[in-house]
Structure 1
């Protein structure tokens, strides 16, 4: 029998899935390890928020340069270098909350390195993946983030308890280096003679030398002043505001708001992120089905999934601080994050719809807003909790936490309306 050939683009998708999985283990792991170390020496919530948000300052600075580098120098190479940098930093930097300067510098560098990842991934997927597979391919790749966060929440609190916070850094570094080896060995640039429908970057062939070269000029003005791009930007901001606030402060809410130990919660603490993994892939499959069967247009599909995801997520966030039990909180946070991930089949894949040839660039612009959400949301949440303490409200009181969850809920409703009005599904940049 003829041997069935496994398409190379599927291997690329699996490797990018593992990529997002590993770097989100690092991101979640730092929050868990640092929070444990900081709580042990009595660092206040405002100071914790400052350190936790430092990562995003580095992350925001490298988003647009990451898109340019991926477009100009090749996403495959830049992705490898970015992974090597943050993995090396994790291996070398001590986890000591008293060494504030070292922690700040290291988190800035890790953030800057990881800021190249998503622009590179979107550039790579735009080159490899045909249009009818984009929703589920992007959804699978990005769902690695949530599976990584779930694994971190399940395993790393126990590791911190047994081996100390520094052990988390060493595990993350080992995972990062392992991924780099796999990427170096198995990844490649797309063969431009194959699968022309998947090739989205504007590449032409030189008549004199016969080699491939980028001849297109990036339409910065059109990108910056495009309302469909701004619809993506607004929703990226909201998605990451909600995600980063929950990812960085949900462990604190469990421990201080509900008086629960993460180590004693068992597997339930990973359910919100596991739900994101499931719903993200579900959204990708549903979107591709609706589009390929011509049940809805691309524009209608993106708007439907984005609206359903963000509105239901908002309702769950409004309910979350009303529950005083771990089961109620886990249920609400799982529903909120799950439907938020479903919404990625709307706004996140839309980068490749409207600008397949400049997906990395548009992702860099969009993710800059998403990263600003991390800087604003994580730091602002720390200030909210400090103000609650100053006004004699204990952090175990639901009133102290309502603003933390209500703000992203209102943002979800607002951004879903923006996407309904201004988003488009057709290509607008040639």
Structure 2
């Protein structure tokens, strides 16, 4: 093994034609020998839990407000819901999570940069899982307590997306950013795909409280595994091979600043057009996603008269498409980058804007669908194409400012959380008589926001390292467990040099 090249344990495509690299590619299945792949796999299941914990109420609320047979004292059987909520109250309950989620985005990104994204990520999901176990008794006590616990859950879960960018800024080689990040993010959609039908089954066989108990325990199990396995950086992982460590360090560029010494240029970041292009794209994608995530089961029930047990299965189909497309999109984006077919900026624009324009068309088509089959087909295409957008804006923070990626994700996800707060009550106020015509306006609004996001991102986005990143303190160093490396301008940009990517 000593005679093998330094890329011994790296991902290398077969089409290079190099014998040593081909042999290496065949070892990809031994993912446990590549610690960055272990991190990616566990991050996938982390986001699986993030969305399973988030989406559970969207299915449970249908059962909670569905009329059930109740026998009165005089023997009369009447059909009344367990929770007799108006559409406005239901919208408030569903959106309450995002009030807390909004608050901790920036603090979570800042804290992750300071103490390590791996720990904060685990704490966020672990605490949310624990609180989920208390949801049923609190809901039975009062609606106000249900809203309160959902707000607190949002506070803890709000740190997750910023934290994972802090993890990738240290663990992801430049040429693997898109596929590692999108693989992890696809766990969100896999969690949605699995949790919606499972929630329906749990509702049918255990009652709606079983939803919260099952997914709460799953989240606590994952938290324990992540805490024990994933380290802050490859330099601190005792199981990483020297070859993989060198590859990651060479590809990402030497980290310039220890977490405790990072100074974020807030003024310049907030004045940066590429930053706000990312923010707008993130906002646009989340508007459509949160609208469907929150109301798709209710929409299926209102317009197509589906029962609770059926809505969970059908509502999961679009997110299955998203989970699959995310994998494909990430690999295609990195492949185009390695082959030099397009610049990094043009790849991000093509994937993001192309997805948004396509989503605009299919959301309008879904609004006019006359059958449930065509509606699901159009929505599946619309949501699935969003996977290409995630290979654009979601990794763009790492392109333009790797040391500040966690706080930039915190900023963009803060603004992108507003749809989760605004959309449910707005949709609830629009859809007052449960008619298809009123639901059509909800789809029109999402289409318009996708179109606006495409225009803004196409005009102002960039994937080039920004000038304000290069102005870090040149005396700062990054501890590599015995080897302290400094750079003349504070950040080694060779990871962004096309010729250095593998």
Q: Give the TM-score, by structure 2 length.
A: 0.79
The corresponding residue for 1:76 is 118
Q: Is the 8 A contact 1:239 1:412 kept in 2?
A: yes
Q: Deviations over 1:341-380 (max 9, x none)?
A: 2211111111111111111000000000110111111221
Distance 2:84 2:146 in 1: 17
Q: Is the 8 A contact 2:53 2:128 kept in 1?
A: no
The corresponding residue for 1:405 is 443
Q: Which has the higher contact order (CA 8 A, sep 6+)?
A: 1
Judging by fraction of residues, say which structure has more helix: 1
Query: How many angstroms does 1:162 deviate by?
Result: 1.3
- Select between 34-43 and 418-427 the one with higher mean Cα deviation: 34-43
Q: Deviations over 1:367-424 (max 9, x none)?
A: 00110111111221111113xx3xxxxx2x3211111101010111111011111000
Q: Structure 2 vs 1, CA of residues 225 and 162 (structure 1 numbering), >3 Å: closer, same or farther?
A: same
Query: How many angstroms does 1:189 deviate by?
Result: 2.0
Q: Kindly indicate whether residue 282 of structure 2 is the aligned counterpart of residue 218 of structure 1.
A: no
Distance 2:291 2:408 in 1: 24
Tell me the secondary structure at the aligned position of residue 30 of structure 1.
helix
Gaps of 5+ in 1: 205-211, 390-394
Tell me the secondary structure at the aligned position of residue 349 of structure 1.
helix
Gaps of 5+ in 2: 3-26, 67-80, 236-244, 471-502
Query: How many angstroms does 1:134 deviate by?
Result: 0.4
Q: Deviations over 1:320-343 (max 9, x none)?
A: 121232211110110110112221
Distance 1:42 1:326 in 2: 27
Query: How many angstroms does 1:282 deviate by?
Result: 1.4
Q: Is the 8 A contact 1:151 1:270 kept in 2?
A: yes
Q: Deviations over 1:287-342 (max 9, x none)?
A: 10111100000000000011111111111110112123221111011011011222
Distance 2:38 2:325 in 1: 22
Of 86, 109, 112, the match for 1:67: 109
Distance 1:106 1:84 in 2: 15
Q: Kindly indicate whether residue 61 of structure 2 is the aligned counterpart of residue 34 of structure 1.
A: yes
Distance 1:222 1:216 in 2: 15
Distance 1:56 1:265 in 2: 23
Distance 1:189 1:203 in 2: 15
The corresponding residue for 2:275 is 229
Query: How many angstroms does 1:30 deviate by?
Result: 1.6
Distance 2:155 2:400 in 1: 27
Matches within 5 A, 1:355-366: 355-366=401-412
The corresponding residue for 2:131 is 89
Q: Give the TM-score, by structure 1 length.
A: 0.92
Matches within 5 A, 1:203-352: 203-204=256-257, 214-264=260-310, 267-352=313-398
- Select between 34-43 and 278-287 the one with higher mean Cα deviation: 34-43
The corresponding residue for 1:377 is 423
Distance 1:349 1:81 in 2: 23
Which of these two proteins has the greater Rg computed from alpha carbons?
Answer: 2
Q: Is the 8 A contact 2:49 2:219 kept in 1?
A: yes
Distance 2:33 2:458 in 1: 38
Question: Aligned Cα RMSD in Å?
Answer: 1.9
Distance 1:246 1:191 in 2: 38
Q: Is the 8 A contact 2:286 2:417 kept in 1?
A: yes
The corresponding residue for 1:166 is 209
Of 127, 145, 151, the match for 1:102: 145
* Runs ≥4 residues deviating over 3 A: 1-5, 191-194, 197-204, 264-269
Q: Is the 8 A contact 1:127 1:198 kept in 2?
A: no
Tell me the secondary structure at the aligned position of residue 94 of structure 1.
helix
Distance 1:104 1:128 in 2: 37
The corresponding residue for 2:52 is 25
The corresponding residue for 1:424 is 462
- Select between 27-36 and 64-73 the one with higher mean Cα deviation: 27-36
Distance 1:23 1:358 in 2: 23
Q: Is the 8 A contact 1:38 1:97 kept in 2?
A: no
Distance 1:262 1:305 in 2: 36
Q: Is the 8 A contact 2:63 2:308 kept in 1?
A: no
Q: Is the 8 A contact 1:258 1:324 kept in 2?
A: no
